Structure 1
Amino acid sequence: MNKRKILITGKGSYIGTSFIKWLQQWPEQYEVEEISVRGDEWKEYDFSVYDVVLHVAGIAHVSADPKMEQEYYNVNRDLAIEVAKKANIESVGQLIFMSSIIVYGDSGCEVITRNTIPKPANFYGNSKLQAEKEIGILENENFKIAIIRPPMIYGKGSKGNYLRLAKLARILPVFPNFQNKRSMLYIDNLCEFLRLMIENKESGLFFPQNREYINTSNMVQSIAKANGRRIILVGILNPVIGILRKRIKLINKVFGDFVYEQTISNYKCNYRIKEFKESINETEVERKVI
């Protein structure tokens, strides 16, 4: 059996690094390399020896500063298009582009279905959506394109919102018991999904998520439990949170609803190999080791 040769553009990225580690379970099936796409040196790199390019390089949603807007478009849109064009010209068989649920806007929107029209709320989401559209044009019978729009990703080594919630779970004795729903995706489930995309030579638009929706309050409680702590959930602040999440972005980010309709995330092969409780335990054990 010939090994599938995979090139990850975005050296040192969380997803790329996790995926490399994941594929080490099948050393006889996959050969993976990663390169930096900063500067122009990558343009001289030979893509033609690879079966797949996984493009994960990009700027995450870390700043709303208008001064950063052009940089978002330069990296999340223009660079992604350049990588896709090079992969196409050099006869790579498949490109996988990591987009984001953020193309649909912020928390609080309706349940997202396959027919929901993207409506970015900021230049991060818009830069991703514009990249999707331009990259999609390049697809042909010899060049398959899979666009992935994952929700919030968490797991071993993750940062961002999960890290903030984990810090709260370690220090707070109580936390609001607010019933919201969020689609999320454990990193191992994502890595297995990406492997299946490659294995089955998929093309199209995909919406992977965990099997169950996540409730922020239950997540914080589960993180606390994994760290040997007990945190009490109280509902006394619920009316205030209900009002503030409509007015304050940070509150909405924590307690807002933001979900994919479950059936659009189904796939012919099982990629959701870790359930929520197991994913939290594994994440927290790993964080203690780190």
Structure 2
Amino acid sequence: MDIIITGASGFVGQNLALYLSNRGISISNLSLRSSDWYSNIENKACAIVHLAGKAHDTSNTSSDEEYFRVNRDLTIKLYDLFLQSDIKDFFYFSSVKAVADSVSSGLMEDAIPNPLTPYGKSKIEAEKYLLSKPLPPGKRLFIIRPCMIHGPKNKGNLNLLYKVVEKGIPWPLASFHNERSFLSVDNLSFLIQAMLEKSDLASGIYNFADDETLSTNQLVSLVSETLGKKPKLWHISEKFIRYIVMLGDFIPLPLNSERLKKLTESYVVSNAKIKDALAIQHLPLSAKEGLTKTILSFKK
């Protein structure tokens, strides 16, 4: 089996390519940064996994146009070429943020999209275009909406949280109570392989998430325990924290409104649809097992 991966040099791309190649799947990397990328698509491949995109910028320095140029326009060009090719499957990695910026109960695939950020809006516009085009016989379209992905080599908020705990800095946001879904890159890779191999899997939108949720306080405790430290949870007044955060929106402080939201909001995602479609009861790694593996990689 041969597949094409865009964004293969990124965190998810590297892990997915390694996972699949270790299981006998041949990987071709397609960079969309070259001016002639469209001429490098191999028709012999059976699938395109489109990971390349403009990630959500919590510092809010990226222009709106850049999100739409990368996440929507490049996806449209790639998908149009897919429709004209002999390639069977197209995997588009969208995001749960294409649907909602915050959810307390399990987010389902049929939720009415209401993205609030340029990132989310660019993703949902790409989704709408893909779904508007008739699929030729024998082709399949999978729109993947993952929640927060983590794993070895991840440099996102989980790594920042690890550094806070490692330095012995107390977690000052313990007064905020939430529940969050996470996604181990190993579970993500497992699902992609299973989808590739299930020839009768129906096209559609599929959420990706681990089976269980954790609160941020539980995550801080898990990092602490993995490091052999006692968790330091400070229950500072939410009102006071929000006042400090307002200052961070105007002057360079470690915490601003966007970062506070990402660290303390509830975001629960249901993975029931993809598990039902693949006839599986549990993903290979529990949420805690996957997070522990990621945390241990930071130690190394």
Q: TM-score, normalised by structure 1?
A: 0.88
| Distance across 2 between alignment mates of 1:8 and 1:66 | 28
Moved over 4 A (4+): 63-67, 108-111, 238-247
Aligned residues: 284
8 A Cα contact 2:166 2:227, kept in partner? yes
Preserved CA contact (<8 Å) 1:6 1:32 = yes
Give the Cα–Cα distance (whole angstroms) in 2 for the partners of residues 57 and 34 of structure 1.
11
Letter in 1 for 2:269: Y
Q: Percent identity?
A: 26
CA distance in 1, matches of 2:16, 2:113: 27
Work out the CA distance in 1 between the residues paired with 2:139 and 2:271: 29
Write the deviation string for residues 195-217 of structure 1: whole angstroms up to 9, x where unpaired: 11111143211011111012111
Change (3 A) 1:114 1:44: closer
Deviation at residue 249 of structure 1 after TM alignment: 3.3
The aligned counterpart of 2:10 is 13
* Residue identity opposite 1:214 in structure 2: L
2:208 is paired with a residue whose SS is coil
**Aligned-partner residue type, residue 95 of structure 2:** S
> Partners in 2 of 1:217 and 1:183 — Cα distance?
13
Give the corresponding residue for 1:186: 184
Gaps of at least 5 residues in structure 2 are: 247-255
Inter-partner Cα distance in structure 2 for 1:44 and 1:32:
17
1:266 maps to which residue? Answer: 275
- 1:142-198 Cα distance to aligned partner (Å, 9 max, x none): 220000000010111112221221122212453215431111111101110111111
- CA-based RMSD of the aligned residues comes to 2.6
Structure 1: unaligned runs, 5 residues or longer: none
Query: 1:159, 1:263 → 2: CA distance?
Result: 28
Mean CA deviation greater in 251-260 or 65-74 = 65-74
Structure 1 residues 66 and 254: CA distance shift in structure 2, 3 A: closer
User: How far apart, CA to CA, are the structure 1 residues paired with 2:132 and 2:80?
Assistant: 10
1:135 to 94, 109, 130: 130
Secondary structure (helix, strand or coil) at the match of 2:56 reads coil
Looking at structure 1, the residues matched to 72 and 143 of structure 2 have their Cα atoms a distance apart, in angstroms, of 13
* Correspondences of 1:231-270 after superposition (within 5 Å): 231-237=231-237, 248-261=257-270, 263-264=272-273, 266-267=275-276, 268-269=279-280
> Aligned partners of 1:78 and 1:13: how far apart in 2?
20
- One-letter amino acid of the counterpart of residue 147, structure 2: P
Which string of whole-angstrom CA distances, capped at 9 and with x for unpartnered residues, describes residues 70-115 of structure 1? 1111110010111111112112100000000111232356642333
Distance in 2, Cα, partners of 1:96 & 1:116: 20
Q: Residue 2 of structure 2: SS of its match in structure 1?
A: strand
**Residue identity in the other structure for 1:286:** S
Alignment correspondent of 1:283: 294
